[in-house]
Structure formats: C-alpha cells, structure tokens
Amino acid sequence: MRISAQSLLSCLCGLNLLTTTCLAELKALPRTKLSSLLDITLEELQAGLNAGYFTSVDLVRAYVARTGEVNDKLRAVLEINPDAEVIARKLDAERQQGHRRSPLHGIPVLVKDNIATHDSMNTTAGSFALLGACVGEDSTVAARLRDAGVIILGKTNMSQWSGLRSLKCPQGWSARGGQTVGAYFPGHNPQGSSSGSAVAASIGLAWASIGTETTSSLVGPAHANNIVGIKPTVGLTSRHLVIPLSRRLDSVGPMARTVKDAAYLLNAIAGPDDKDNYTSAIPFNTLPDYVEACRPGGLRGKRIGVVRNYFDMEDEPDKTAVLSLAAFNSSLKVLAKLGAEVIDGIYFPNLKEYAQSPYHAYCIMSDFRDHLYAHYTRHLKTNPNGVFTLKNLHRFVRENTLEGYPDYDTLFWDLALSVAPLENSPSFWGNHTYIFELIGTRGVSAAMQKHSLDAIYMPSLYAGLVASISGTPVVTVPLGASPIDSPFVAGPPRDKTNVVGPNHPFGVGFLGPSFSEESLIMMAYAFEQETRIRQLVRPWMQPYTELVDVLRRRPGR
C-alpha cells in the first residue's frame, strides 16, 4: 500500500492534536497535571506517585491498555507479566508505609526476551525452542530491577536469537513474536535485535526498557526509534542468565526517552557480579552516580573527535546514516556552542579491511555455539523441548513448522557447526585479536590517545558497530528525522518493512574508552538539553490511553 507524504503529514498532525486534547483533559482534573505517557519522565511519574495522584496499579493498567491498542500492528511486546498488578499493589503498599526502594520504586519497565526472569513469563530469544523452559532464579539484571522496586511489565520482541540465525531473517522478526515495526512511518524497520524494547520505549508502552547489544543491537534500534540508548562497557552490567550471543561482546543496557531516565536505569543495573567474571574489570570501588552526571556544562572543555570514514565499515552505506549527514554536520556547531573543542576529520585506518574480513562473524558464531550451553541452557530447571546445544536448536528449528524454516534458513548455525573455529583454538584467538586490533587498538584507542580526546562523535549506527567490537561504551541520542517527503525504500526480499521512509528518526553517538559512561552521559545530556530533538519528531502511530483515562475508570469517579 502506498501512502502519500501529505497523508502521512495529516496523520502526524492529527496525532499531535489528539495528544493535546488528552493533555487538556488531564489538566482539567484536580491534582493530576501530567505529561502524556508518550513523553513522561521518571521524575514526573515519581512526583505523581508520591503525591498520591495515581498509583503503580494505575500505571500498569495504563501501559497494558496502551500496548493492547497498538501491539497487533507493531508487535513490540511479546508477553505481559500476568502478575504485574499484584506486584504493583505490593509496591503501592510499601509506598504508603513510607518505604521506597529506589527512585524506580513502582515503575513499570519492559525487558528483552533474552533476559531471564524467574516468574510466570517465558524467556525464549523469540523462539519456540525454549518455550516453557524455566530458570531457577532471576538473571542478575532482573534481580537488580526487582530490588530497586521496578515492576517487570513484560517481555519485548526481538530479532530471533539476536539476529544470529540467517541473513534472510528480517531485523525485528522472531518466530514467536512476528515482525516488529517502528511507529514513525508505515512499515518502519526497527533496525536491530533490541527492536521491541526500542519501539515500546519510543511510544510509551512502559516508562523505559532494557535491551542487549552484541553488534549495534541496542544502539541501532535506539537511533532508528527516536530514543536514548546506553550501550555500556562490556562488564559494567552482568550478563548472568541473559541468553548469550558472545560473552566477549554482549552488554545489557537501558533504553529510554531521555538521557537522565536512561541514567536512572543504568544506576539500577550496573555493578559487579560474582556470576559474571567480566564485571571484575570494573575499576571503581564505588560506581559513579550516573544521574548526577546529568548536569549543565557537560560539554564545556571537552575534546570531541569527529570520524569521517565510517562508511568504510560496510560494503554499502547505511541509508539512515546517509540521510543524517546534513544534520550531523550541523550538530558540530552545537558542540562548539556548548564549549567543546571539535577535532574534525579523524580517520580510522582499518575500516575497509574490517569490512572485507569474515573473522568477526566467525568468532561470534563460535561464541554462540560454545556459550549457549555453558552460560545459559545448563542452568535451566525445566526444558520441555530438550534444547541445550546448538545442534539441538538446529534440529528443532528445521523440524518445527512454527519456526519459519525453510523460508528463513539456518545459515549462521550451519557455518557455526561446520567451519567456525573452537573457542579454545589458536585460530579463534588469532581471529579475535586481529579484529580487535583493527577497530579497538588501531581505531578507538589510537584516536583517543593521539588527539587526547574525551569522546568520539559518529552517526549512532556506526558508533555502535565500533563500540561493540572494541567493548567500549556509547550513548546515542536523537539527532533528527528524514524529511516528510522522503521516499519509501523497501527492505530485501522476505522483509516486509521499509528501511527508509518519511519521518525516519536517526541519532548520534558519543563513544569513549572503557568505563567512561559517566563522562559520556554528561556530554550526551548537555547535547540533548540544548537540542531537544526528540520532541520535534512525532510518531505516525501511537496508543491513546493516558493516565487520566485510567483514573476516570476508578470506582466513584
């Protein structure tokens, strides 16, 4: 179906009018002056909860209603926690008794379907293979969220097995959840495996969400869906009982609508964990307060390096990054205005060599094959389909019609089981070291040292790719969107989404050395507060239930 730019513009304007109407009705109610759930911040939510204007139960009901209004089309949420209201009542009672566990007390958050929870929900990486399989405890990330008083509202859809199955599987597709699409134009490709988490956060299906990253799996969807994403240093957040792709590269991070809200969520999940040895590399005795980093002046005196040859990382430049070039160049003036020293024209010397090498892909295939059992399935207390190893999974998917085989093949697993080197082999570590030196040592580290940089500034998708290989952190913030008259560009065969279209969001990334999240958040916050671009880019589709609607349904209203 073709939709004209004028029709799309009319829809966007209409949605803004609807939002304005909802806000007007909300303000008419006594004691309930709130932003729309499309944009509301944590501090606004906590102010309302603490004042008794609404409860956590009200929040759960509002977010569940909003999900029901759009999820059949966007397919961002895979399942809702059936115990969410019960948990909310308990947390409301604690609040009434004067006990608040943290700034996140009583706040609903969605988590990606590869983050294990010891409750009534499944954890499947988007596959029927692990449906009904249960862990004996929460993942460390889920446990920390609960300790902070978070309501884990549900699980979000994702690219099946974090995108490591087949080149034919579209981004955002899983056998269990179907095809996630973004909310900013018809058929909007959500870009990356944390797609459901990004889409859900972008239109307020929860306050925020948790995603994971191996190769731009969190940063990419955040950039394409007009939100903030923080991909932490590998080891800042635990991966215990997170279905692995690569323990060398995997990272768990927050996805939210503002830098400060993402920082609140990072505060809750960061820190050492005896069950993940990578966290032993954390260099702090006491973690920084990432929320405190959200203060004025974060770019003043900072040296920001601008990399210009990032398109060399791929055979064909990413279309959204091409669209963002003018905005990217204009944003350099914002950095300078805010007191940063901009060092333009930095060159990473080995990007073309990386693009032509198969070694990075082979290393990830090896990791998945060897880590699936070692770091996840061996911990399962029940496993009705008997899927423990990649060989088990390979057979299950090929024999189960619900998995979409053979239309979506198993190319990556075929290679992992046949030619990818063993993790403990000299060839594996030779390949890994080679790729890390190309991007990490000769790229990020060399540029940071040569130019005495505080951060590297790149279009988000490429910042995510660089950071994923080097293991370093990146914060992505909204930068803009494509013009309303931009043409639709369809994805590859079998992909029913549009990789480009009118009103397509894009972001920019602040990348730094390992464990520099505090500094990156300071810089990203300063940029966000100056530009406030997210507010200028409105979704094409959004839910309509607001807190006022839930409050009006209360008995006695």
Tens digit of pLDDT at every position of the chain (557 positions) = 334 444 444 444 444 433 433 443 343 443 446 789 999 999 999 999 999 999 999 999 999 999 999 999 999 999 999 999 999 999 999 999 999 999 999 999 999 999 999 999 999 999 999 999 999 999 999 999 999 999 999 999 999 999 999 999 999 999 999 999 999 999 999 999 999 999 999 999 999 999 999 999 999 999 999 999 999 999 999 999 999 999 999 999 999 999 999 999 999 999 999 999 999 999 999 999 999 999 999 999 999 999 998 888 877 777 777 888 999 999 999 999 999 999 999 999 888 888 888 888 989 999 999 999 999 999 999 999 999 999 999 999 999 999 999 999 999 999 999 988 877 788 888 888 999 998 999 999 999 999 999 999 999 989 999 999 999 999 999 999 999 999 999 998 778 899 999 999 999 999 999 999 999 999 999 999 999 999 999 999 999 999 999 999 987 66
**CA 55 – CA 46 distance, rounded (Å):** 10
pLDDT of residue 494: 78
Q: Determine whether 35 is an active site residue.
A: no
Kindly list the distances between the CA atom of residue 357 and the CA atoms of 164, 444, 493, in Å, as whole numbers in the listed order. Answer: 18, 19, 25
CB 40 within 8 A of CB 65: no
What predicted TM-score, i.e. pTM, was given to this entire model? 0.93
pLDDT of residue 493: 78
**CA 177 – CA 75 distance, rounded (Å):** 7
CB 478 within 8 A of CB 459: no
Q: Which one is catalytic: 162, 193, 324, 519?
A: 193
Within 10 A of 285 (CB to CB), how many other CB atoms are there?
Answer: 5
Angle at 218 between CA 494 and CA 121, to 5 degrees: 80
**CA 429 – CA 65 distance, rounded (Å):** 49
pLDDT of residue 14: 42
Cα–Cα nearest to 284, from 470, 514, 76: 514
Q: Which one is catalytic: 127, 216, 217, 516?
A: 217
User: Residues 337-374, buried b or exposed e (16+ Cβ, 10 A)?
Assistant: ebebbebeebebebbbebeeeebbbbbbbbbbbbbbbe
Kindly list the distances between the CA atom of residue 257 and the CA atoms of 142, 314, 441, in Å, as whole numbers in the listed order. Answer: 21, 29, 33
Architecture of the domain made up of 5-358+429-552: Alpha-Beta Complex (3.90)
Cα–Cα nearest to 104, from 146, 58, 153: 146
Q: Determine whether 324 is an active site residue.
A: no
pLDDT of residue 29: 45
Q: Determine whether 238 is an active site residue.
A: no
**CA 347 – CA 302 distance, rounded (Å):** 19
Q: Which one is catalytic: 36, 56, 112, 519?
A: 112
Q: How far is CA 34 from the centre of its chain?
A: 26
Strand ranges in 300-340 using DSSP code E only, listed in sequence order: 303-307
pLDDT of residue 311: 84
pLDDT of residue 556: 65
**CA 456 – CA 304 distance, rounded (Å):** 6
pLDDT of residue 167: 92
Amino acid identity of 555?
P
Answer left, alpha or beta for residue 36, where phi above 0 means left and psi between -120 and 50 means alpha.
beta
pLDDT of residue 528: 99
